[in-house]
Structure 1
Amino acid sequence: MMVKLTDKMAIADAPTGVGSLGSTWSKHRLDQINEAHINGINESISQSQIVVCGDTASGKSSVLERLTGIPFSRMEGNVIKFPIEMVFRHTDRRQQITATIRPHSKQCPIAQEKFRGYTRDLSNISELPAVMDEMISKIILYDKGSRSMGAITADTLRIEVKAAHGLHLSIIDLPGSISRPKAYDIEGRSNLLQRLAESYLSDTHSIILAVIEASNVTNHGVMGLAQKFDPEGQRTLGVITKTDSIKQGAEYEIAKLAKNMGNHKPELGYFLLMNPITSEREAGLTLDAQSRMEMRFFSKPAWKTQRLFWHRVGVENLKLFLRDLLEERIEVELPNIWEATSDRLSEAEQELKALGDQRSTVSGVRVFMTGLAMHLSQLTRAALDGNYHELSAEFFSGPKNRLRTEVHTANKEFANYMHDNGQWRKITTRSGITDNQLLVTKEEMIGWVKSVYERHEDIIPGVFQSAVFTELFKAQSSRWSTIAKNHVDKVFRIISNWITRAVSTNALDGKLLCYLISTYGKGLDQAKDLAYEELEKLLKDEKLPIMNHRLHAETIQHVRNKVASEAYATAVEKVVRKRWGSDDKLITAREVLEIIRSKTVVGLDKQAHIETIALLDVYYKAALSTFIDNVCRQVVERHLLSALPSIFSPQGITELSEEELFRISSETVAQRDRRAQLESTVNSLRKNLADLQRYSIKA
């Protein structure tokens, strides 16, 4: 459990404390981001990290104290070392400081439970040493492996500071020996600490503050550790400390390194500092006094002759550099906040628009319902016209929502299936039954026609009979009814599913959705009944074929010409074989005539059967094309599609009573509350966007 403190912090208003790492600009920007979060913006800037690492006794604690005003240097003598994570979060609310312990993953269960249960609220940051003592006591009590003098543990002390300091920052103080793991390997814990260090140093948002003791610039491990995780040196900043403790004459080498002319050349370069000695700190030397003393030290001839970059000397310049660096990181990520805010504003405006006008009165409800009916009617008309780009383009972007396209595809599939499989008997090279269709050979087809003729005993041999033709056509077209009804059902399902999607997109609540689906359902059922009635009329018309005399004559003549042509071709083929064959005999005219006669002269009954089949094929194809067109136009188009825009129309709204209107579409309390919330959010987001655009970083 974490308890929050509300007392005032000692460092919040200190000009030389952590507040000096922030600025008026960063404070304003973070206020804007916090306001965006209040408005539901999940996008956030990445929290910057300053990871401070250095060898033992490198002056790291003193650097941290001078940067933040937090008394790190008072904790240098602790018998157990552990990482400290200082988390600074900007807020315009009451200031809070909270201390917790985060156990490492390999810690024993009992210690993990005890550490996670630890929390302390600080009234002043000067209480931090006492918190450190409490943590050490818990480690000694629950972690047997860390009881040795000088032991290092991977358990982390986390201090969260919330105040109006203009910072969105974590400062991590790693144990001093972490760059030299073999020096502190107690019970194999070096691996834990190495992984802990890696988790911080490998984070691309972290700034590596590598602290180097001036008297040990050639024999330190910290820059090598930094280079491992930042090979290009893009986020590594070197800080050279304890410059007052070097041997006389060593200033040149130190200055050379400070000018980034050493072996390690990080892009962020180096800063030169002079750390105050312990007695000076204990004597109460203020941070401001330390900075003034530092600049006087570097003004001595030994340093002045080194032509130092003065903006890289002293902790105050280091603070300014870090502040600019942190501001730059915030600025780089602000476009993401602006884009997320803009997107959220658009979403809120769209949702507010979808709510329509307020529906707390009869007139308001009627206006809303009339507008909804008009929109759905226009949407349906656009879908039927295939106009997918002018109205509700986003809705029509879904392929299944393009109603005209879906119906056209269904009609095409229906026509193709009818042409291929509509006839009851289909002439092929083999016999069989497939998909409720009888496959027959040509001879079997002739046999079927012959059997029909034989059932009609009163016919004159060799003469075409309309009664026979009617019976044959009825049989061949017997599958049309089932196929056409299946097509009507398929189109009905397409329309019903489309209506459900269209209504669901525009209905604001469950009761309105149910009403609309019910209204459209009734209208579609009526349209389907009318479509079936129309289909029955078409099928009834097709039961009695009407033979056109010209079609009959032309078909008969075509069949006879085809038979004669085949006979002549056979005779010519035989003449050619006789003339140029192996026996080289001549064929007589009588033989030619006999060939032609055998091919052209058949019995009167068989001739009637062949001509009837040909006539049936021609008439069937013509009737089939007409039937397909009539189903698509008179059944699907006239009854299923054309009625859609009028099922739910503005005219129908005028016929509803006041009670019906309120029952169907009056706003619920939740909807009224949501409207008020959205209006407030929209206004706040617009202000936030305008503020983000207006306020820019200083050059």
Structure 2
Amino acid sequence: MTTASGSGAALTSPTRLRKIDVLREKNIGQYIPLPQLVAVGDQSSGKSSLLESITGIPFPRGQELCTRYATQITHRRDDFERIDVSIIPGPHASPEHREKLKSFHCQFQSNKELLGEFPTLLNKVNKAMQIRTNDNPEGVHTFSEDVLKIEKCGPSEDYLTVIDVPGIFRATAEGITAKDRDLVKNMVKRYIKDDRTIILAVVPANVDVATQEILELAKEYDTTGDRTLGVLTKPDTVKEKSQKMSVCNLVLGHRMPLTLGYFIVRNRGGDDEETQVDFTDREKMFLDDPWSTLPRDRIGVLALRERLQELLGQITDKAFPKLLSEIRGLFNEAVKKWEALGPSRNSERKQQTYLMKVVTKFQEFVRDALAANYSHDDAFNNPDLRLITTILNVTANFNREFASLSHSHSFKAFGKDVRCDPTSSVLEIKPKVIATLADPEVELTGDETCCVPDGAFDEYPELLDFVVTDWEVEAPEGDIMEWIGKMRRESRGVELGTFSSTMFASAFREQSQKWRGMTESYISRIILVIHRFVHRALEFACPDVRMNERLRSMIMDGLLERYHGGLKHALMLVAVEREKRPYTWSGVYSHNVQGSRGQRIADSLASKARLEHGRTSKVVVDHNLISTAITNRGNVDFEKEEIHDTLAAYYNVARKRFVDNIWHQAVDHTLLSGPTSPLGLLSEQWVMTLDNGQLEIIAGELPSVIKTREALGKRILDLKEAMAILR
């Protein structure tokens, strides 16, 4: 039988066309649109007969099997004549199915040999694709994404590739469901949606084309009609003259025009034998009226085939320069996504190794944050990571607040400044305010008050069970001497002299009753700063959100326990200062007591001082008045003053000692750098203690991530191979 092969039509870039076919075999079309000719149509539209006429492949009659999947028919010039049959795995084929299909290959030396083996061949194809038929009842699919590839080679072949997809059907049949109908329709849509696809819309001439679903689908994806070519089949079944004229008007573009227009062809009928008249004899009908009025380049298989070769060359030449850059862009994008997933974690060793890297990075953040080494990593632009700076600011604020607000009653300020003017005989006496607890070195500077903003604890509800979120402190009460007098009256015993140690201890406990609350508030702020740092550092060290959440969940109990330890140690220091017998070895205490007593004597003598002129002017006091200044006070006033001065001197020493101890022991040692620091919990040693189950919980990958990694890996390999093909 004569075929359309060997028409001698000029090829456009046969090397490029061959490369496009290779890309299609590699399923690159699932990533990027490839230039292609796709034949679509309803069932019984004459599509199979048309493809036989165009390609010369003698599809057997009465066989519906090849409509269960797409068929790619390729012509390629070669020195030897042969027909190669293989299967291209679908884009979603499993690795096992893909390997199985790669081994499928059949070769025939002629059309006649292929025709004789076609039924057997299709049964083998169905089994390979796992399609369920009467001959293959164990199949699991009704339709398949796999593609049957038939490549016809020979010295007289001109390059042409046409893809045939299953025909659209409306009614279901035995073994074919509505779901299968939708699957086929979606398959057709997938093949025709890309801008680089020429749509061969096959329509029988004996039907009203306005009712053809395939043309409606084509119009949906090719709104301008620029890439849809209509092919009218079965013209021999059109009997009425008016109907023939209607068909001619389509071909002439007088109705329902398409930019690529319509062709009309007559194919071998279902009852024709392969040995009967060839297509040139069948097309003699076009010499009759009204077919004879049609342009010759719109009639018959030869004209159609020549036009298809031309269109395929045009779309290939247009797309080819862009393909390499587009594929390279997709490759780079896939590599970035692959790298973002991090290394594979599908085994215990890989999980442990990955977790070790996360922990090592976290500890690097800890070391740098404690050393205020912020310059070498942009992550430290996040203020939550500037750990030691924030803690020092919070502590400076605490030190200032503690110095000015931690005592229940304000200590009495006293002192008089006696000055003389050498040019005058008048003494100038002014109040000299001496704040016994003044600490100029703890003045508030910078943004210490903003270290822990309002609502900061709301982000971490796990801390709310034990931290103090309200650190408002009342100012000390005034008139401490009245309070001392009241305490003396209510607590005095039979002692000569000043007051008992029991009374002093009771007075100190009363004066320091705000220490616990202020310390709890301070340590709570420190815990929040550390907890916030842990969260932020883990976000940078472990960008995998799921793993980050599971890792934090795994260490949370340990973190909270260590936070409790820091708070517990701080409260122990409060108890030591307040509950134990007050005592100090500090010389500052006696110096302050003696200084207060001396200042009181000086204050009492200030009004009795006189100005004495000589070589220099001096302020002098009569020596005999000194003894009366000391002895003229009553017992009550004397005891109250003694209690005040002793309490003030000791309180000042104890407060400074306490703040230092809180910093060194509760904060620096317990919470920051000691062996029980929460910052040291997440360590390499901790990772080594995890069993297989715990490693899987923390570092194991979700099935979706594993699937994504596999898909990206395949995508990268495919695109890399595609770039090599196009170079």
Question: Structure 1 length normalisation: TM-score?
Answer: 0.46
What's the TM-score once normalised by structure 2's chain length?
0.45
Higher helix proportion = 1
